Amino acid sequence: MFKNYLTVAIRNIVRNKRFAFLNILGLAIGIVSCLLIYIFIQDELSFDAHHAKRDNIYRVQCFFKFNDVEDKFGIVPFPTGPTLQSEYPEVKEMTRLFVLGQQNITNEGKVYNVEVMQLADSTFFNIFDFPFIAGDPKTALSQPMSLVITQGEANKIFGTANPMGKMVTWNKKSLKVTGVIDEKKYNTHIEMGALFLWAV
């Protein structure tokens, strides 16, 4: 039975080549479109899905109005986090991030460009889960001027040498490498090349 159906289908394709071509092309475009949409949705839903506390993580934003145009930004004054934690018992823990952008780090006299450098509180890894290759997330930002870098940045700055405990210089300040993160194992909106604790 199946052989007969296949024979008839092949004959129809041969007889009506243009019609068959359009049908097959339409089917192929439909399948490819569905696959691309599926891949896109999967990628979007995977953002920050690796955080164990993701259902209880909230980002504080500011709403601004300029000439009757309203806009919102993920930027708030620095004291906002500690104030919310002290005045609202529902806030169990807070952390702040300050994006410094591209920065230069010096190691043994050589200058290296770090794509995204950020300042963070010591509680950052209590809230967010990132896969550590080296170091302990519980203590990585326990001391001022501690530096956590991605594997890519570690390879760029230190090559094959173990970066743990090494000192680098940023803006005339000495930073100590206390952790290395595998940036290839997560999908997040928090861009990170280097993250450090700075007593402010």
Decide if pLDDT at 14 tops 80: no
Q: Which DSSP string do the residues of 121-149 spell out, in sequence order?
A: -TTHHHHS---EEES-TTTTTSSTTEEEE
The reported pLDDT for the residue numbered 67 is 82
pLDDT band at residue 190 under the 50/70/90 scheme? confident
Domain extents for the chain? Answer: 2-45, 95-197
Taking residues 79-108, report their average pLDDT: 93
The reported pLDDT for the residue numbered 1 is 67
